[in-house]
């Protein structure tokens, strides 16, 4: 069973993790310099739930392949999402510096599973962030507004996939 965790943000940092029962990946991500990473992630997943399309305004290789840039400082990450029919592949590539030299990147996590399973896992963690946003002082601690519109769009797209 694929699981995603995004812990409550603290001082502009958020701990995130992926666990598929065989492999796992955990890191801490920063709110900057990729200020739109969290809403872009929701937009990417919304587009993939809708079988493609570019709703992010970011880097799109094809309508079924999206790359999200995020960082830990000084390390940088590319979260690559590829939809192939009913399956979704997630790859996390780590770069040792902000230069993003593709010759130095390393694949640190990969998972392939049913689109619905992946969307449900992200949905659970996004729901938890949404439910705890006031208690956790999300906007103060993440130093970014909560992505309400992207969250609502994501929830609607996941519901329509069912």
Cα(101)–Cα(121) distance, integer angstroms: 31
52 CB-near residues (< 8 Å, 6+ apart): 62, 63, 64, 83
- What residues contact 64, with CB distance under 8 A and at least 6 apart? 48, 51, 52, 82, 83, 84
Q: What is the mean pLDDT of the chain?
A: 91
pLDDT tens column, 70-84: 998 889 999 999 999
The encoded tokens of residue 160 equal: 């329509």
> Global pTM?
0.90
pLDDT reading at 62 higher than 50: yes
pLDDT tens for 20-46 read 999 999 999 999 999 999 999 999 999
- In tens, the pLDDT along 85-106 reads 999 999 999 999 888 898 999 9
The SS3 assignment for 32 reads coil
Over 50: is that where the pLDDT of 148 sits? yes
Q: For 111-141, what is each residue's pLDDT tens digit? A: 999 999 999 999 999 999 999 999 999 999 9
58 pLDDT higher than 80: no
pLDDT at 50: 81
pLDDT higher than 50, residue 56:
no
């Amino acid at each position: 069973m694929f699981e995603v965790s995004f812990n409550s943000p603290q001082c502009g940092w958020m701990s995130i993790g992926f666990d598929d029962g065989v492999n796992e990946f955990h890191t801490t991500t920063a709110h900057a310099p990729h200020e739109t990473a969290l809403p872009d992630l929701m937009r990417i997943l919304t587009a993939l739930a809708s079988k493609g399309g570019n709703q992010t305004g970011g880097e799109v290789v094809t309508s079924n392949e999206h790359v999200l840039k995020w960082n830990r400082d000084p390390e940088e990450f590319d979260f690559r999402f590829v939809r192939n029919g009913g399956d979704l592949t997630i790859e996390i590539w780590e770069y040792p510096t902000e230069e993003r030299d593709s010759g130095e990147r390393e694949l640190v996590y990969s998972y392939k599973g049913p689109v619905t399973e992946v969307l449900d896992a992200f949905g659970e963690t996004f729901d938890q962030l949404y439910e705890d946003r006031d208690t956790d002082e999300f906007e103060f601690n993440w130093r970014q507004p909560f992505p309400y519109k992207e969250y609502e769009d994501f929830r609607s797209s996941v519901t329509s996939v069912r």
